[in-house]
């Protein structure tokens, strides 16, 4: 295969191939990479932003943080990791991180044990089995989040779980009531062959787009999401002490570290971030938590009842930018 867009480091391309398997809001995959023998740079691609759902690019930056975690894990697996700088250039905020590499591969480095989980992680939107997640596993997820620079709090009491589920349903109703939000959602609903976005069957995509744009389905969606939240074996919030771009990157690193760790224990996850996306509800969510700081993500975890396919990804040449 020819090197994309003039990139010359085949081993660096392999790192990017794993980095792009990270999750992203609406599967927008809002990243670009510059590859050389000495480093891989991760840049935010703001042409793939969600201005209605994510007006500050908070979730876009979190998505890039997830890709950064994959990139670092892959570099450690191939024994090439030297260091990573987050937001290294004040005048270039789109440069999310620069990962410096050793010129040649060596033995696997500490932290590479999550490498296989990169390809096995899935976003699982269905009901989980009723199997309980052991406390030791939950502690390992919290440890992984702390290593990424954030905190993970499991919502354990029945009252708090009920309140979080109610906030998710309320957020669904508020978002679906906004025609601009519905139009943006519809724009990112694509057949699998498109390589990005939320997958819908190709034959029904025109009808699906029309329905989503036209009808406020917040009540039904909210009821379904609330039920999913309440029935999930684990409901958790990932947050940070502050709410700056650097914290958003850390939240992404923490999220992906926790998701990869979860996968090594047979768990999968999906996202219920609606109550974080609506500012008035985000404050109410924070009031339910023991941690101080800013909630960034709400996730549900459990043991999957069946295998699900990986979400599609753009071709590698579409995310590599020549230096």
DSSP letter assigned to residue 38 = S
Which sign, positive or negative, has the C-alpha torsion 210, 215, 218, 219? negative
C-alpha distances in Å from residue 46, one per residue of 7, 8, 55, 95, 255: 22, 25, 11, 11, 21
pLDDT by residue, tens only, the chain of 323 residues: 445 544 457 889 999 999 999 999 999 999 999 998 899 999 999 999 999 999 999 999 999 999 999 999 999 999 999 999 999 999 999 999 999 999 888 899 998 999 999 999 999 999 999 999 999 999 999 999 999 999 999 999 999 999 999 999 999 999 999 999 999 999 999 999 899 999 988 756 677 877 887 778 888 999 999 999 999 999 999 999 999 999 999 999 999 999 999 999 999 999 999 999 999 999 999 999 999 999 999 999 999 999 999 999 999 999 998 66
Structure token pair of residue 260: 């990869």
Point out which residues pair with 81 in neighbouring strands.
Answer: 101
Residue 74: CB atoms within 10 A of its CB come to 25
Q: What angle do CA 63, 287, 166 make, to 5 degrees?
A: 75
DSSP letter assigned to residue 128 = B
The overall pTM is greater than 0.75: yes
């Amino acid at each position: 295969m020819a090197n994309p867009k003039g990139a010359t480091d085949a081993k660096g391309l392999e790192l990017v191939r794993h980095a792009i398997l990270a999750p992203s809001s609406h599967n927008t995959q809002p990243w670009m990479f510059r590859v050389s023998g000495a480093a891989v740079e991760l840049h935010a691609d703001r042409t793939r932003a969600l201005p209605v759902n994510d007006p500050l690019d908070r979730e876009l930056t979190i998505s890039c943080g997830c890709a950064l975690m994959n990139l670092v894990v892959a570099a450690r697996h191939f024994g090439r990791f030297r260091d990573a700088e987050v937001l290294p250039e004040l005048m270039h905020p789109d440069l999310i991180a620069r990962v410096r590499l050793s010129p040649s591969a060596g033995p696997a480095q500490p932290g590479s044990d999550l490498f296989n989980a990169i390809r096995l992680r899935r976003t699982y939107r269905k009901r989980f089995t009723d199997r309980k997640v052991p406390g030791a596993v939950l502690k390992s997820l919290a440890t992984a989040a702390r290593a990424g620079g954030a905190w993970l709090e499991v919502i354990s009491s029945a009252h708090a779980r009920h309140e979080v589920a109610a906030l998710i349903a309320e957020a669904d109703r508020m978002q679906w009531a906004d025609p601009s939000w519905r139009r943006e959602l519809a724009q990112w609903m694509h057949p699998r062959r498109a390589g990005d976005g939320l997958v819908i069957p190709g034959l029904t995509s025109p009808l699906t787009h029309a329905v989503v744009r036209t009808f406020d389905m917040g009540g039904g969606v909210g009821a379904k999401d609330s039920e999913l939240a309440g029935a999930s074996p684990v409901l958790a919030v990932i947050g940070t002490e502050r709410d700056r771009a650097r914290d958003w990157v850390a939240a992404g690193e923490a999220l992906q570290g926790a998701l990869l760790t979860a996968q090594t224990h047979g768990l999968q996850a999906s996202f219920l971030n609606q109550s974080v996306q609506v500012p008035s509800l985000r404050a109410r969510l924070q009031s339910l938590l023991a941690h101080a700081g800013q909630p960034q993500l709400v996730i549900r975890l459990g043991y999957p009842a069946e295998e699900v396919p990986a979400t599609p990804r753009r071709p590698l040449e579409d995310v590599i930018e020549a230096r």
